[in-house]
Structure 1
Amino acid sequence: MPSLIDQTLFSEPSGRPLGLVFLCGALLLAGQQGYYIIVEGATLFYPSLFMIVGMALSGIAESLPKPRRREAGVLRVTALTVLVSLLVIIFVVPDLITT
C-alpha cells in the first residue's frame, strides 16, 4: 500500500498552469525585493529569499512533463526543505533573520 507521502510528493506533476502560478509568485517576490533594494535603498530581507527559492522550485517541479514523477518529487522535497529550514531558523535563531 503506497504511503501518503509517496502519493503526495511523488505524484505526477500537476501541469504548467499551477507551475506558472508558483513561478509568477517567485518572480513577483523577487521584483518586490529588487524594487525595495534599488529604489528605496532598503537592505535585503532574507526570509523572502527562502520564499522565492521555495516557490521557484515548486514551480519547476509542477512544470515538468507527466512521466518525470521522481524528478518532480525531488524538487518538491527540496522546496519543502528550504521552507522548513526558514521556519527552523526563525524559531531557533531569530537574530539571523532580523539583522
Structure 2
Amino acid sequence: MALIQLGLSFTFLCMFAYAWSVGDAGETRWLLFMIAGTALSGIAESLPETQLRTVGVLRFGAVLVLLCVVAAPLLGLEFFFGG
C-alpha cells in the first residue's frame, strides 16, 4: 500500500511539474496538496508497527491536508484553483 501511495504522490508531482513547465501552475495549485497528502500517507504506511504514534500523526496530517482540498471549494478559497 505504501508503494501505491508514494507512486500516486510521484504521479501528482509529475503532473504539477508538467503544468508548471507549460505555464499553467497557477491553475493546478491543488496538486501540491494532493502531493503532500499522499506522500504523508505513504510514509505512514511504510513505517514499522513499533512507531504507532508517528504513524498516527502522519495519517492525521494526511487526512487534514486532503480535507483542505475537499473543503476549499465549499469555503470559497480561490487560492487552490488559481482564482
What TM-score bracket applies, with the shorter chain setting the length? Answer: 0.7 to 0.9
Q: What secondary structure sits across from 2:25 in the alignment?
A: coil
Q: Select the residue among 9, 16, 23 that pairs with 1:41.
A: 23
- Counterpart of 2:45 in structure 1 is 62
Specify the code of the residue in structure 1 equivalent to 2:25: T
Q: Select the residue among 69, 74, 94 that pairs with 2:57.
A: 74
Matched residues in 1 for 2:45 and 2:71: separation? 25
Structure 2 unmatched ranges of 5 or more: none
Q: Deviations over 1:45-75 (max 9, x none)?
A: 1111111100000000000012111110110
- TM-score with structure 1 length normalisation? 0.74
Specify the code of the residue in structure 2 equivalent to 1:74: V
Specify the code of the residue in structure 1 equivalent to 2:56: G
Where does structure 1 differ by over 6 angstroms across 4 or more consecutive aligned residues? none
Larger Rg: 1
RMSD: 1.3
- TM-score with structure 2 length normalisation? 0.86
Deviation at 1:94, TM superposition (A): 4.1
Kept after mapping to 1: 8 A contact 2:16/2:25: no
Greater helix proportion: 2
